[in-house]
A and B are shown apart, each in its own frame.
Chain A
């Protein structure tokens, strides 16, 4: 019989706190490389100076140990549970919540979370159903992974869903994505990662768009047809001329990412979720040898 990896809840709480703060301060290497790539290919002068300011900001944040962006976002924790891992699920939820509250109070961070009707801010970055906790399972043995994404609102407000019909075809999907990029314009803080969800139910489609938007740069859709679409839509969006901050230029998106799910014979849903250039994330991997912090 295999040993089980037991997860201590104080370690989860610490990780939840640390990941939130770290994600807000240090951009993953793939995003930094994405900036270098855009900087080397941008043809517009003003756009190049906008990119230069963004790149300078990444260095200033690290040097001054400060937040990259003022928007502390809506905290999202993606928990992936491997095999032979044991913990109390309810306690895990509470530990993540405590970690989020402590990051907010102890750093301190701006709590960007309010009640949707009263608009009351409890100054904890928490509220009903927030932090968002997504659960998934993997076949990795004795591994628990927690990914933290502080999702900024400027880009989140650039979310779109349409329940297209089969007769709209792939052409309808492509038109919808291009029009979403145009509608979002400079409001979503380009250069962005444009996440596209295809198929599933309406809620799954939107969730896939977020998974796509928060995926590491350089990763490809596992489905070959989806990967083809990523390439084609990426070129299309970067031919529109929206540019960094919507001030014109070639660098509208680092990439378009696509995620797919099977759908119903009568359905053809498409969703867009946008990640801004401050494409922040951090992760903690729990194994028998300890907790490893990364992106």
Chain B
């Protein structure tokens, strides 16, 4: 189990070096994205002015405060609380995010499914698990909201965060077909019959 420090954006080679169970700390830049952002980008054909090539996106919609634009608050927003939402709802956007926008890393909670695993394997990507519900802690890893696009979707805008020591995150799915979530799910379904039997219930 290795620990990796990645300054974003990352190369395919760096991403291919990540293995399930490794830990990762991200530095410099991270993009926030969510349901509505991706519905508009991929179902309604909207484009972003941000270059996401080689970057990491996190499934989030932050709590923010509107402030005067200044040196550290170029976007006019200050972070209040930034955390992570359940990734599963956004499963079908993994491939277009990677193919069209060049995204390499998806950060979220709860994992993604087989189609995402395939996309990670074919295109060179990975899923990093952050601890859901630990947003107060996560917020301390974000130094500024640098920019925002598609802000009519607020809070589900496309956010660009400056980050410092964002992690440790756990590699939940890698580019070699590995998935902690699939491993756990298969163990759970193996145990189901026995758990039910102990209560006198047939499977």
Contact = CB atoms under 8 A, between A and B. Distances in A.
Interface of A: 46, 50, 53-54, 56-57, 60-61, 64, 66-72, 107-112, 119, 121, 123, 152-154, 157, 171, 174-175, 178-179, 182, 185-189, 232-233, 236, 239-243, 245-248, 276-278
B194 to A, nearest CB: 8
Given A108-B65, A154-B85, A171-B200, 10 more contacts: A54-B131, A54-B133, A69-B134, A70-B63, A70-B85, A174-B201, A189-B132, A241-B188, A245-B132, A246-B110
B137 A60 contact: yes
Given A67-B80, A154-B110, A247-B172, A72 B131 contact: no
A112 B129 CA distance: 23
A189 B87 CA distance: 11
B202 A241 contact: no
A60 B136 contact: yes
Interface in B152-178: 154-155, 170, 172
Contacts of B131: 50, 53-54, 57, 245
Interface of B: 21, 36, 60-66, 80-86, 88-89, 109-111, 129, 131-137, 139-140, 154-155, 170, 172, 180-181, 183-185, 187-189, 191-192, 194-196, 198-203
Contacts of A67: 63, 80-81, 135-136
B133 A276 contact: yes
A60 B133 contact: no
A57 B133 contact: yes
B184 A242 contact: yes
B189 A182 contact: yes
Interface centre among B65, B139, B200 (most CB of A within 10 A): B139
Contact of A57 (B137, B185, B195): B137
Given A71-B83, A236-B195, A277 B133 contact: yes
B201 A64 contact: no
A66 B139 contact: yes
Contacts of B135: 57, 66-70
Contacts of B140: 60, 64
A59 B183 CA distance: 32
Contacts of A56: 134, 137
Contacts of A182: 188-189, 192
Contacts of B134: 53-54, 56-57, 69
23 contacts: A54-B134, A56-B134, A56-B137, A66-B81, A66-B136, A66-B139, A67-B80, A69-B135, A70-B61, A110-B61, A110-B63, A119-B36, A153-B85, A171-B200, A185-B188, A189-B86, A189-B109, A236-B199, A240-B195, A241-B184, A245-B129, A246-B181, A248-B180
The 4 A-B residue pairs with the shortest CB-CB distance, nearest first, are A70-B83, A61-B136, A57-B134, A67-B81
A186 B188 contact: no
Nearest to B87: A187
A186 to B, nearest CB: 4
A247 B196 contact: no
A186 B196 contact: no
Contacts of B198: 236, 239
A246 B80 contact: no
Given A69-B83, A157-B86, A175 B196 contact: yes
A201 to B, nearest CB: 25
A242 B81 contact: no
Nearest to B203: A175
A283 to B, nearest CB: 21
Nearest to A67: B81
A46 B171 CA distance: 12
Interface centre among B66, B111, B136 (most CB of A within 10 A): B136
